[in-house]
């Protein structure tokens, strides 16, 4: 409910107060829908069955690791490609179920896909990239080139 107030004019001390009920505008309704989180959750799962998977990137002195949370999939569901310093990880799954009974046929199908791309630094040995899928986590190992690996601190003696 909104409240409208009129201010006094020409020194008159008369104020009137009028309450009106109004429906929210379409644009404010859409804004509220997305701000509440329902909109993004609803749209991200509509006809996809999967949102963009979460990725952790770890680095140590010798390599990078990408850990991608993609439970419920098989190794054969993934495509991993490197092209011109771009690492692409994608998956596409289709599922169909059909149940026939005497009085009805029930048919369901689902489709899900994602694609994540990463620009690799020049320090990655692209010929030695490997991947492993275990317990719902796809791990991609990105070894660094020998010249890019961190060297231990070296003490220089003064002669």
Q: pLDDT tens across 122-159, in order?
A: 999 999 999 999 999 999 999 998 887 777 888 889 98
pLDDT at 42 over 60: no
Q: Which domain holds residue 64?
A: 49-148
Residue 12 φ/ψ region, left for φ over 0, alpha for ψ in the -120 to 50 degree band, beta for the rest = beta
Please indicate, yes or no, if residue 77 is contained in any of the structural domains. yes
Identify the pLDDT of residue 66.
Answer: 94
Please indicate, yes or no, if residue 41 is contained in any of the structural domains. no
CA–CA distance, 140 with 53 (Å, rounded to integer): 14
pLDDT at 113 over 80: yes
The top-scoring range by mean pLDDT among 13-17, 100-104, 112-116 is 112-116
Longest dimension (CA), the chain: 96
By the 10 Å C-beta count (0-12 exposed, 13-18 middle, 19+ buried), 142 is classed as: buried
CATH of the domain at 77: 2.60.40.790
Give the rounded distance of the alpha carbon of 133 from its chain centre: 19
Count how many domains the chain has: 1
Identify the pLDDT of residue 50.
Answer: 52
Q: pLDDT tens across 56-73, in order?
A: 999 988 999 999 998 888
44 closest CA partner among 137, 118, 112? 112
pTM of the predicted structure, to 2 decimals:
0.57
Identify the pLDDT of residue 104.
Answer: 78
């Amino acid at each position: 409910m909104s409240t409208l107030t009129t201010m006094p004019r020409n020194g008159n001390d008369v104020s009137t107060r009028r309450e009106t009920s109004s429906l929210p505008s379409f644009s404010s309704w859409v804004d509220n829908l997305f701000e509440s989180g329902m909109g993004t959750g609803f749209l991200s799962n509509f006809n996809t069955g999967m949102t963009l998977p979460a990725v952790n990137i770890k680095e140590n002195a010798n390599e990078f690791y990408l850990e991608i949370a993609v439970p419920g999939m098989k190794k054969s569901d993934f495509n991993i490609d490197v092209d011109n310093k771009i690492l692409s990880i994608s998956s596409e799954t289709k599922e169909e179920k059909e149940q026939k009974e005497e009085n009805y046929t029930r048919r369901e199908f689902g489709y899900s896909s994602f694609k994540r791309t990463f620009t690799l630094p020049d320090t990655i040995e692209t010929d030695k990239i490997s991947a492993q899928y275990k317990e719902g986590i796809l791990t991609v190992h990105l070894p660094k080139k020998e010249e890019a690996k961190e060297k231990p601190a070296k003490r220089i003696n003064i002669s």
